[in-house]
Every structure is written in structure tokens, then in C-alpha cells.
Structure 1
Amino acid sequence: MSLTELDDDTVRSMAIGALFADFGGKINSVDFHRKDDILVTASDDDSVRLYDIANAKIVSLCMSPVNDSFMSGSLDHSVRIWDLRVNACQGILHLRGRPTVAYDQQGLVFAVAMEGGAIKLFDSRSYDKGPFDTFLVGGDTAEVCDIKFSNDGKSMLLTTTNNNIYVLDAYGGEKRCGYSLEPSPNTNIEATFTPDGQYVVSGSGDGTLHAWSVNTKNEVASWNSHIGVASCLKWAPRRVMFVAAASNVLTFWIPHNSNADTDPMDTETETHAEHHSQ
């Protein structure tokens, strides 16, 4: 709502629209940018925080792997480039539909997925000149809710709002493999590459987790997630470990002795019980 629409009824209707309770100390000062929809805060926890207060909801964030910049994609059909050291937007791209963003592992290229299954690639150093390449995910026009590059930069991983997963060749855009999962109404799922790019792990709408081999295109494992639909999933960059989260529950997954008689979840529960009893 713009300031020109302000009246008595609007003032009376003011109520809390968002709450952030994660400060580690007293908030000492707050201020708004004069021209951009940005708020900056300073507090006793030695943090200076930057908030984008634009009306449109931010649906995608990605930090640069090489510096202090990051990108945001929002429902106002814009992609904004930010720098943590500067309290103002450094650049903006206006696109069609809901944008989802990702940097490659070298920070030289970033991808934006948008409506119609289009993937646009930009040079991070000259994004204002427009995309240098555009791919189309053939046969699927659903919105992309998540996009990732593999560590070697050769593949891209796309997850769509209708729970389809695709692995694309990052250079030519060709579809290497695709998988369909159970629907998860009102919840977007996330998929992840293993660090070597050889496997993809994802949640599903039926509360299971799945792993596939990118090379053979076959499923190699499936598990009960124990937490329902896993909406967040990441593989650790330097360990044989991934984490899955749903709502306010976070689980760590590590290799388990197949000869053990107990379920890993039972072992974890017993371990915590023993710890608290000591």
C-alpha cells in the first residue's frame, strides 16, 4: 500500500504483519532508506541487518560463493542483486513470472528460472547486458521452485512446483534425467546434489526420501523421512551426510551399520536419553 492511500480507517487497522525474534541483544537503532524499500537495524549482538520491505514476497535467495553479494527473486517478477557491505540494491532485473535464482560454484554465472520452463543464464559481471543463453525445460511449464548447480558446474538441478525433478546439462540445457514425486499440496520440496554430482536426493509428498544415480537414471535408495514432507534438503559439502527439515524438525542423515538390530532413529533417541541421564 502506498502512502497516498492513507486514511483514518487504514491507521486504525494497523497490526503486526511480521515478527523477527532472533536478535541476540537490544536493538539500538532502525532506519529506512529514503528511496528504496529497505530497512537497516543495529543491535547489541554486534549485527547490522538489512531488510527488504517490498510488498512482493521473496521466494528465492542465493549467496555468491566468491564474495559478499547475493540475489533475491520475488513475486513482483524482479531479481535483485545485493551486497552485504552496502545498504542498497546494486542491480535489478525485471522478468516474467516467479523467478528462482542460483549462482554457479565459481560465482561467474547465475541462472534464473522463470515462467514457461525457461532458464536464463547471465554473466555475473555484465548481467545488465541480458542473458547470454536461454534453455527450455521441454514438456513441463510448471514454475521452478528451486534451482542448483552441481559443484563441477556441469549440471543444473531443477525442482518444480508440481514435484518434478530434472537434471540438465548446464552448458547446452539438454535434459539428462527426470523424476516425478508424490504431490505435496502447499509445500514445495527441495532436491540436492551429492558433492560429486553423481546422485540426487529429494523429499516427496508421501513423506519419503529418495536417491537416484544421475549416470544410470535409476533410483538407488528410498527411506521413511520420519518427519513428514521434507521441504528443505541439503547434502554437506565435505561429509557423507545430508540434512532434511520439515516445519520445526531437523534431521541429520549419516551412514548406518546395516547389520545393526536397531533403527537409527531409536538409537538416536536412546543416545539423547543416556546423555540427559548422566
Structure 2
Amino acid sequence: MASAQHYSSAAAGAPPGAGPTTAASTSQGGPVASGSGTSAGAAAATATAPTAGTGTATGTATAPSASEPLSILSTTLTLTPRRLAVFKPGKVFDEAVKKGKDITSLAFDAKGDYLLTAGEDDVFNLYSCKKGKLTKTFYSKKYGIDLARFTHKPDSILHASTRGDNTIRFHSLTENKYISYFKGHESRVTSLQMSPVDDTFMSAAANESVRLWDLKSSKAFGKLRMQGHGIAAYDSSGQVIAIALNERAAVVLYDIKQFEKAPFLTIRIDDSAALSQISYPPRYPVITYLEFAPGAGSTLLVGTAGGVHYLIDAFSGALRRRLVGGHGGRIGLEPEGLAAVDAYAVSEKEAEEEKGNGDGGGGPEGEGGKEEEEGEKATPRSMFVPGAGISGSECCFTPDGSCIVSGSATGQIFVWQVPADFREVDNGRNLDPVAVLHGHQGPSRCVGFNPRSAMLASAGRKLAFWLPDLDEE
């Protein structure tokens, strides 16, 4: 197993500016009623985003206009817990998805100008963040749509299919047509993410494989066999990828340049002591989301469909904090029975392999990977989870990495402040939210923070744009 230095050297190739970025921050003077559109005194300010941990954004602009959905106001914004605590729904789209259906994914483009949503009604919508309105509507009735993601251009997207052959589709928003198709997955795609540095991307499918692709080729250039509800993520340098192994309650890290080799670090999420207080044997929540902290930090957010998220140190593998609802609040999108998997449902063969080599990763097909012999197949702890709550967008970091937000089955938005320094003695402790936001109607299945603005989006049966209410500070 490689040491932390391996991860550090692989991540050192981060592009210039991977820390601070230019941003536009938005604020508002007060919330509005559901479906009413704009808010009086809504405001937006051109700003410079903070470095990780500082959360400061400054900006200047012209006076507001009452006729503009998101008018301009000269202000200085700081993404502190106090500021996040006064976020309110500035605009709610009551008909963002067909009645009785849910929005299952949302994504901002890199500049924060547009928001893309995909729903169970086979519709994907494009919204203008500056104007606060729906811009275009597209349909994928034949194959469905999920995990809609912008490429590095705001006029093209990738999305997974929910029916048919599990193909990933590359779509032009300007021409409203498909550019190319990426075939190969044999089961439903459960994770899809663009590389932060180039036109390659990564996908994972339930109980099948993780694959690496290039937008210029329809054939995957990397493939890793795996079991369980597949989730994968890039670090900010694009050189390290994390893959969740739900059947082992683990996360494995790979150097993307040595994808054909074993993972250089395997992180076992040992939360049995806390989970045993709920049920025995302990039942681990299904991992549904992975995100490295913005910039060159080592913190990895592990989101789940259950009542806890985790902060992991990607250098040492230590479990830093358990993100919980606090005071009886529940952050999970699924009932405990559906959102959890048996912590000890691992085959004897798997246990022997872990004892022998210390890693929990699979092997790339045809390149050092060993096919399982007949009768020795591992028993996966989690097949694709069929629950309605899982979206793959349940939680996320704020753009500066200082806080984390999460949706919930109740619609509440939970906010946690990431500790500035982690002490070994505090490893594994519960971290209670510093704020709980109210105003989203129905379960908040998806949440996302605008990368260039003080704007939060939440989605489920409805879509809400959240802005800070400066009058309440």
C-alpha cells in the first residue's frame, strides 16, 4: 500500500488557480412565496471567491433595479455559518418536474451561469442563474435521463440513461441533438463525473465496473470491475480518483496514471461502535456521494443515504468526523432499513484477500485484474439501491470548502462547518450542524452550491434557489 506521499505527489499536479477562484456572489433582501418568482431586494455582486477556510468574498456593483429578478447590490459577502444560516428560498419553481415525479440530479456549469436539472419525468431543464428563470427544456423520453453533468463547455452535457442499454449520452444544448454515445455498461449507471482538468470523464455502474472515457472516443480507455452501488470522484488535480466499495464499507484511492495497478490507499470506514448503538450487527449506510474538498486539501466527504455523512482524511485514512443531524434531526433520504447494508456480509474469499494484500480494490479487466473463479464470487452487501431518495447529489462542499450542506427526507437543509484543524484525539466524533435551513417543500433530494455565487440550489418535487437574507443578519 502506498503512503500519503503517493497521494501528495499525485495531487501536486493541480492546475494553477486550483485554490482561489474568481466568483460572483449573490444575496437577497428577503424570501418570496413559493412560485412567485422574484424577491424584493434580491441582489447579486461580482466577487472574488475565498481560499479554503477563509470563506471571504468581496465585490462591487451598481444599484438594484426592482424589475430585475436578481438585481445588483454593492456588498461584501462571507460564507460564514452565520451567513449560511440566513439563506432563504429566493425563488421556487413549482413546476420544475411533472407532478408526482422528482428531480434526480442537478449541476452548475463551471462559471455558475447555468443550472441543469434532470427528472424522473424524462425531462432536463436549463436555468439561468443570473436571471433566475427557466431558459430551455429538453426531453429524453425513450431512454430517460439521470446524472446530468456539464462538460467544460456550458453548451454540452453528459447524462446517464434510466432505461434501455445503459448508454451514456453526449448532448449539445445549442443544437438539441446527441453528439455521441458511450456504450459498454451492463447495468444502470450510478455515478458520472467530468475530470476537472481535461475532456475525460468517469462513470460507475451497479455491480459491474468503473470506466474511464474521453469525449473524443466512444470506447472506454480504462475499466475496473467492482460490486455494489458504484460511486467515484476525482480530486481537484484530476490525478487521483476515489471509488466507494459499499460491499466493504471502504473507499479506495487510485493514481489515474496507474489505474491498472492496485489502489495506493484503502480506507476502511470503521464506524461500527456508533452504528452498533442503532442495530447489531451494525448496518453501514450506503455510500451515494464522494467529493474531495476544494483546492489541494486532503479531506474527503463521503455522503450516504442514511443518517450520517463522513469526513475522511485522504492522506491517513482516518475517520475525522461523523456529520449527523443533531438534536433529533435526520439527514438521511431513506429509511434506515433501505439505506443500510450489513457491515459483515463479506465472503470468506474477500476476507482472505484483504488479509493477504491489504487492499480492497478490484483489478482492471485484462490488465492485472483476476477474474473470480466459479463458486468464489463475493456476496455483495449492496446491489443497486432502488430507493426513491438516492440521487448522488445529497450533499456537497461550499465553494471555499469551509462548510458542507446536505438535503434530507424532511426537506430541511443541514449546514456543517468544517473544522479548521483536525486533532487526532477528536477522530470519529459527531459533528452537529451549525444551521438548519427551512423552506424546501418535500424531500430535498439534491443540493448544489453555485461555484461562483453565494447561491444554493435544492431540488426534489420542486426546485428552489436560495440566497442570503441580509436583513436577518
Q: In the TM superposition, what is the alpha-carbon distance from 1:229 to its structure 2 partner? A: 1.3
Does residue 184 (structure 1) correspond to residue 325 (structure 2)? The answer is: no
In 2, distance between residues paired with 1:167 and 1:184?
19
From 257, 261, 268, the equivalent of 2:470 is 257
Aligned pair 1:162/2:306, yes or no? yes
Shift of 1:144: 0.7
Give the match for residue 198 of structure 2: 67
Deviations 1:178-215 (A, max 9, x none): 12352433202611111222211111122211101121
Which whole-Å CA distance do the structure 1 matches of 2:166 and 2:434 have between them?
47
* 1: CA distance, partners of 2:294 / 2:312: 14
Q: After superposition, give the CA deviation of every residue in 1:233-256 in whole Å (9 maximum; x if it has no partner).
A: 111222222211114x32111111
Q: Are residue 117 (structure 1) and residue 249 (structure 2) matched? A: yes
From the superposition, tell whether residues 40 and 98 of structure 1 become closer, same or farther in structure 2 (CA, over 3 Å).
closer
Tell me, yes or no, if structure 1 residue 237 matches structure 2 residue 461: no
| Structure-2 change in CA distance of 1:139 and 1:40 (3 Å) | closer
Q: Indicate the SS of the match to 1:125.
A: helix
Q: Distance in 2 between matches of 1:85 and 1:212?
A: 40
Partner of 2:285: 142
- For structure 2, the residue ranges without an aligned partner over 5 or more in a row are 1-140, 149-164, 273-283, 335-386, 421-430
- 1:97, distance to aligned residue in structure 2 (A): 2.1
Q: Secondary structure at the match of 2:315?
A: coil
SS in structure 2 at match of 1:163: coil
Q: Residue by residue, what CA displacement relative to the aligned partner does 1:63-84 show, whole Å, maximum 9, x if unpaired?
A: 1000111111111331011111
Greater shift after overlay, 182-191 or 155-164? 182-191
Q: Any unmatched runs of 5+ in structure 1?
A: 1-15, 23-35, 261-278
The answer as to whether partners of 1:163 and 1:188 remain within 8 angstroms in 2 is: no
* Helix, strand or coil at the partner of 2:218: coil
Partners of 2:167 and 2:434 in 1: how far apart? 46
Q: 2:229 aligns with which of 77, 98, 103?
A: 98
Matched, 1:131 2:263: yes
**Are 2:182 and 2:218, in contact at CA under 8 Å, matched by a contact in 1?**
no
Say if 1:227 and 1:245, in contact at 8 Å, map to a contact too. Answer: no
- Separation of aligned partners in 2, 1:41 and 1:155: 31
Post-superposition offset of 1:47? 4.5
Where 1:258 maps in the other structure, the secondary structure is helix
Whether contact under 8 Å (1:108, 1:123) holds in the other structure is yes
TM-score, structure 1 normalization: 0.74
Aligned length: 230
CA deviations over 1:26-76 (Å, ceiling 9, x no partner)? xxxxxxxxxx98688999646413143644011111110001111111113
Counterpart-to-counterpart distance in 1, 2:440 and 2:171: 40
Would you say the 8 A contact 1:38–1:88 is kept in 2? no
- Structure 2 distance, partners of 1:59, 1:196, is 27
For the 8 Å contact 1:177–1:214, the answer to whether it is kept is no
- Specify whether residues 259 and 119 from structure 1 end up closer, same or farther in structure 2 by C-alpha distance, changes over 3 A only: closer
Contact in 2 for aligned 1:77/1:98 (Cα 8 Å): no
Instruction: Summarize deviations over 1:85-114 as a string: whole Å, max 9, x none.
Output: 101111100123222100001101000011
Counterpart mapping for 1:260-271 below 5 A: none
- 1:213 maps to 417
Partner Cα separation in structure 1 for residue 269 and residue 439 of structure 2: 29
Question: Does 100-109 or 167-176 show the bigger shift?
Answer: 167-176
CA distance in 2, matches of 1:41, 1:75: 21
One-letter amino acid of the structure 1 residue matched with residue 211 of structure 2? R
Amino acid across the alignment from 2:193: C
Superposition pairs for residues 193-204 of structure 1, below 5 Å?
193-204=397-408
Once structures 1 and 2 are overlaid, which stretch shifts more, 77-86 or 138-147? 138-147
Q: Distance in 1 between matches of 2:398 and 2:415?
A: 10
Q: Larger relative contact order (C-alpha < 8 A, sep ≥ 6)? A: 2
